[in-house]
Chains A and B, each alone.
Chain A
Amino acid sequence: MSIRRWLEPILIVCLLIWPCMAASAEADGQALLTELAEAPASGKAAAITAIAESGDPRARHWLQAFADNKLSRMDDSGRFVVVLENRGRDWTVEDALTGEAIGEVSRRNLNRVRINNSLRSRIGNILGLLDLKVDDPAKRREAARELRGEVDAVMAESVESLMESAEDEDVRDYLAEALAIHRVQRGDVSAIDTLRGSLSSEARSALNKAASSDDPELASAASEALTSIEQLLKINNAAETLYFGLSLGSVLALAAVGLAITFGVMGVINMAHGELIMLGAYSAWGMQQLLPGQPGLALVLAVPVGFMVSASAGIVIERSIIQFLKGRPLETLLATFGVSLILQQLVRTVISPLNRTVVTPEWMSGSLMINEALSLTFNRLYILGFALAVFAALLLVMRRTRLGLEVRAVTQNRAMARSMGIRATRVDIMTFALGSGVAGLAGVALSQITNVGPNLGQNYIVDSFMVVVFGGVGNLLGTLVAGLSLGTINQLLEPWAGAVLAKVMVLVFIILFIQKRPRGLFPQKGRAAEG
């Protein structure tokens, strides 16, 4: 408090004589930040405005740090600092006023300047207005986009002048929309025209509100505009549902494809399939641990590594258990179920029962915006592509390589194949390793959309069997088609049946389908099928 009292005269003098700013920048900044820290919740907004209008070159830096929860005051010295690294018990900080690095300070000594979401969005607006003046056109466009729905009476004027001076057409459109939303919010009927045909959620939000207002003219104009938007929206929603379905389907197909080889082609009921997927996901985590700071590269490298890890685990399982249980499906089922429990607990004991963080690389986060109402999330898009690539590669292996030929020969007629000189045991190992390795690939992909933890496999084992049985045992393409169609069916049902019921309905559908066609969508034909 005493510092503040001491500062006040300086502050007043500074306000009178502007140029003294430079001389007492330190003290001035300290005063502004003190005000921000000590103002009650209701007075924080004014403190933010004061900082923004102070013209201080560091204002932006301060506000950004404040919005990011990085602005703190040291308990002992009262210095304001910006937290650079906030993990562990000692945090690295720098002085907010001078930018001087202070080094590590105990967390106990730091008192964060509190913020909440409404202050954060106010800061967002202020920074947004500043961003409209930066050189980078992409940044300008983004800032203009973000302003929609955020314009208030205070900002309207400056937004309008910025719109008139904007060179970029997109920026101008966005700002026009932002202003129109603001006007509609204030009950201006003429502004509704600008919003007609806009798919942005902010515009619809404003129109929806206007449609239920007391002013009949405004209400009717708004609902009319909304009807025209609804039409466009329906098409987009249908496209979106289809995308959701395909992306879920690609995940299902990817998880199932390894099983389609081990179960479908070899006939081994491998209950540890889920855990092979889990091992793949853990390889992705392991690679990111080995290559800190390069999550993208680590993920790409995890593809071959995950394959190798799961494939070797598969070889061990095949050699140690499955080969002794040939032709005894029930025992195989029980034994592999045991293996699955062992692997889960092994991961729990060796690594941790807690989930591990697999970082999503920059290029996989966010979404590809087709239009305002339809955007495709990148992580799912990549997985869809990855699934298709894996299938293509597998089909190539099965149809075009010697291994594929031998595998097909052995599964069709083991005795005959052996008498033709094919080493059936070696083919068994290779096939099982291939199936397991592909499960590992699925794991690497799944690490991007779900938890990497000891239970990962359990969530996918039932779905995988479902997809393989539905698609037709022994048919790789069938697995792909089955996965994609089950995903789509599920996503079509989910909006009106709810997630739980949709899952039940899909299962019932499969049961009925299997009654009618016991061999699935694409049954194997010929004599091999009888075996």
Chain B
Amino acid sequence: MNTAKTRIASLLAAASLALGATGLQAQEEDPIKVGILHSLSGTMAISESTLKDTVMMLIEEQNEKGGLLGREIEPVVVDPASDWPLFAEKARELLAEEEVDVIFGSWTSVSRKSVLPVVEELNGLMFYPVQYEGEESSKNIFYTGAAPNQQAIPAVNYLMNEVGVERWVLAGTDYVYPRTTNKILETYLKNKGVADADIMINYTPFGHSNWQSIVSDIKEFGNQGKKTAVVSTINGDANVPFYQELANQGIEATDIPVIAFSVGEQELSGIDTGPLVGHLAAWNYFMSVGTDANYDFIDKWIEYTGDETAVTNDPMEAHYIGFNMWTRAVKQAGTTDVDAVEDAIIGVTVPNLTGGYATMMPNHHITKPVLIGEIQDNGQFSTVWQTPGTVPGDAWSDYLDGSRDIISDWRDPLNCGNYNVAKGECGGQQSSE
């Protein structure tokens, strides 16, 4: 009886000890939380859901390698449902309630703009993986997608110098990214001596599907005796009917090439690409790039998704770079503390998937090569031209009034996202818009 009692007591003691020990251990090895803020439903799910999977895959891979700082990484996935205000709410939930150490997220500029005040207020850390219009540099956001000088300007240079284009159609969907990009391009082209009459600008609503008269206008515009090209910032869904109409009206890439900034492998996987062969796109990564790093990434992606036909694209590479930069910076800083990581990450260099390296610049943008690719019949791009080295991202365009004199440098002593060189003052932390 007595012995039984003691046995129970000692068992209890042992149990409580064990419990205590695990409690302690848990405190020491609390997982590092990574927030993923990509729409899984609604209009943008088409593009964003694969980015969620990309980050999940990168986290899984990192955990197999033993996690980070000896701790496991735990993904926290939320669904902002393509609803811009909801992005801000979900970002707040991630930072305030889940207390994540970093967020990977957003696609559209408007969703980023809606998250921006939240991450600045709560001092979070966010990696934004999509090409965008620039004119922004936040202390708390790292832009791993292309700024206009890493996509639009080199693309126009390519057409001007290598193809000999003299007349330009700037066609875009009616929202902030195309409008700003086209404004930059218009100023740039005029600086290069292109006449007003040789530039045609056209905007269409989201999801525009009836392109007949616009394509017919473009055809007419191209009949004026000068080599004409279309620079397209047409967004996602509207592209399919646009290209179909081009093909139906007999416009071939050799007559009027279209260079697109928003058409990637994923968009092409939803169309019959036969009629599009030869049209162009400018990105910083193509799935077809023949490097071992890229082939390994593709193999892993196919294995992760279990889909033999799964494609990779530019924003996925941006997340790959961003995630590696973040883990490197965390290792360097020895902590996931936001301020320490922000300091440590500037200057961090990691390999990209196209055989080069990406460096985080003081303006929170990264260096990228610019690739021009032609659409092929298998829904892939084949590179026809690329910049000799990498191009550092410029947050504030040199071709817009009011942003020409602004620079961004988040290192001491400047520590400012929009410093006006002419006036010699910092315009405050927030961006202009």
Instruction: Give the complex CA separation of A120 and B269 in angstroms.
Output: 24
Least CB distance from A415 to B in Å reads 44
A375 vs B248: C-alpha distance when bound (angstroms): 9
Structural contact, A491 and B248, CB atoms closer than 8 A: no
Asked if A367 and B249 sit within 8 Å, CB to CB, the answer is yes
A499 & B208 in contact (Cβ 8 Å cutoff): yes
- Among residues 314 to 340 in chain A, which have CB atoms less than 8 Å away from a CB atom of chain B? none
| Contact call B203/A500, Cβ cutoff below 8 A | yes
Tell yes or no: A88 within 8 A of B by CB: yes
Q: Does B85 contact A (CB under 8 A)?
A: no
> Is the Cβ of B271 less than 8 Å from the Cβ of A357?
yes
B275 at the interface (CB under 8 A from A): yes
Structural contact, B205 and A500, CB atoms closer than 8 A? yes
Q: Which residues of B contact A126 (CB under 8 A)?
A: none
Q: What are the residues of chain A within 8 A of B240 when measuring CB–CB?
A: 355, 450-451
Separation in Å of the B221 CB from the closest CB of chain A?
Answer: 11
Which residues on A sit within 8 Å (CB–CB) of B271? 355, 357
CB-CB nearest in chain B for A212: B225
In the complex, the answer to whether A201 meets B223 with C-beta atoms within 8 Å is yes
* In the complex, per-residue mask of B297-338: 1 if CB is within 8 Å of any chain A CB, else 0: 011001000001100000000000000000000000000000
Q: In the bound complex, do residue B298 and residue A89 qualify as a contact, i.e. CB atoms below 8 Å apart?
A: yes
A365-B247 in contact (CB<8A): yes
Looking at the assembled complex, report how far the CB atom of B237 sits from the nearest CB atom of chain A, in whole angstroms. 5
Chain B interface: which size bin?
A: 35 or more
Which one of B68-76, B129-137, B371-379 is at the interface? B371-379
Residue A140 interfacial (CB < 8 Å): no
A194 CB-CB contact with B under 8 Å: no
A201 to B209, CA, bound (A): 25
CB pair A112–B209 under 8 Å, yes or no, is no
| Contact A116 B385, beta carbon cutoff 8 Å | yes
Contact of B225 with A208 in the complex, beta carbons under 8 Å: yes
Contacts of A257 in B (CB 8 A): none
Contact across chains for B253 and A117 when beta carbons are under 8 A apart: yes
Within 8 A of B (CB), among A489-512: 490-491, 494-495, 498-500, 503
Which residues of the other chain, A, contact B217 by a CB distance below 8 angstroms?
Answer: 495
Supposing A69-B382, A495-B217 touch, asked if A244 and B225 sit within 8 A by C-beta, the answer is no
Task: Enumerate chain A residues within 8 angstroms of B275, measured Cβ to Cβ.
Answer: 365
Is B254's CB under 8 angstroms from A108's CB?
no
Residues of B within 8 A of A366 (CB): 248, 250
Q: Which residues of B258-300 have CB atoms within 8 Å of chain A's CB atoms?
A: 266, 269-272, 275, 277-278, 290, 292, 295, 298-299
A348 beta carbon closer than 8 Å to chain B: yes
Q: Let me know if A87 and B202 touch, CB within 8 A.
A: no
Question: Bound state CA distance, A381 and B376, in angstroms?
Answer: 28
When A68-B377, A244-B216, A494-B213 are in contact, do A377 and B384 touch as well, CB less than 8 Å?
Answer: no
- Residues facing A in B22-75 (CB within 8 A) are 40-41, 43, 45-46, 49
Q: How near does chain B come to A328, taking the closest CB pair, in angstroms?
A: 28
* A241-265 near B? 1/0 per residue, CB < 8 Å: 1001001100100000000000000
Q: Which residue of A has the minimal Cβ distance to B211? A: A499
- Interchain CB contact (< 8 A) of B384 among A107, A116, A353: A116
Judge whether A240 and B270 touch: CB under 8 Å.
Answer: no
Is A209 an interface position by the 8 A CB rule?
Answer: yes
Closest CB of chain A to B367's CB: distance in Å? 24
Shortest C-beta distance, A314 to chain B (Å), equals: 24
Q: Which of B163, B205, B241 contacts A451 (CB 8 A)?
A: B241
On whether A500 and B204 interact (CB within 8 A), knowing A107-B295, A116-B385, the answer reads: yes
Expressed in whole angstroms, the minimum distance between the Cβ of B91 and any Cβ of chain A is 21
Which residues of B in the span 178-222 have a Cβ within 8 Å of any Cβ on A?
A: 202-205, 207-210, 212-214, 216-217, 219, 222
Mark B381-392 against chain A: 1 for CB-CB distance below 8 A, else 0: 011110000000
> Which chain B positions have C-beta within 8 A of A251?
210
User: Is B257 part of the binding interface, using a Cβ–Cβ cutoff of 8 Å?
Assistant: yes
Residues of B within 8 A of A500 (CB): 174, 203-205
Q: Which residues of A contact B219 (CB under 8 A)?
A: 201
Q: B342 on the interface (CB 8 Å rule)?
A: no
Closest to A498 in B: B203
- For A509-531 the 0/1 string (1 means CB < 8 A from B) is 00000000000000000000000
Q: Which residues of B contact A231 (CB under 8 A)?
A: none
A141 to chain B, nearest CB (A): 15
CA distance A359 to B379 in the complex (A): 13
Name A377's contact: one of B40, B214, B249, B266 (CB within 8 Å): B249
Asked if A495 contacts B213 (CB within 8 A), the reply is yes
Distance in Å: Cβ of A386 to nearest Cβ of chain B: 16
Could you tell me which residues of chain A, from 472 to 494, have a CB within 8 Å of some CB in chain B?
490-491, 494
Residues of B with Cβ closer than 8 Å to A?
A: 40-41, 43, 45-46, 49, 162-163, 174, 202-205, 207-210, 212-214, 216-217, 219, 222-226, 237, 240-241, 244-245, 247-250, 253-254, 257, 266, 269-272, 275, 277-278, 290, 292, 295, 298-299, 302, 308-309, 374, 376-378, 380, 382-385
Extra 18 A-B pairs, beta carbons < 8 Å, given A86-B377, A208-B223: A87-B378, A116-B374, A116-B385, A117-B278, A124-B254, A205-B223, A241-B213, A345-B41, A354-B270, A355-B46, A359-B272, A360-B272, A365-B248, A365-B275, A366-B248, A452-B270, A491-B213, A495-B213
The 4 closest A-B pairs by CB, nearest first: A209-B225, A355-B270, A208-B225, A353-B45
Residues of A at under 8 Å CB distance from B? 68-69, 86-89, 107-108, 111-112, 114-118, 120-121, 124, 201, 204-210, 212, 240-241, 244, 247-248, 251, 345, 348, 353-357, 359-360, 365-367, 375, 377-380, 449-455, 459, 490-491, 494-495, 498-500, 503
Instruction: Jot down 11 A-B pairs with beta carbons below 8 A, ordered by A.
Output: A86-B376, A89-B302, A205-B223, A207-B225, A209-B224, A240-B216, A244-B212, A356-B270, A377-B248, A377-B249, A455-B46
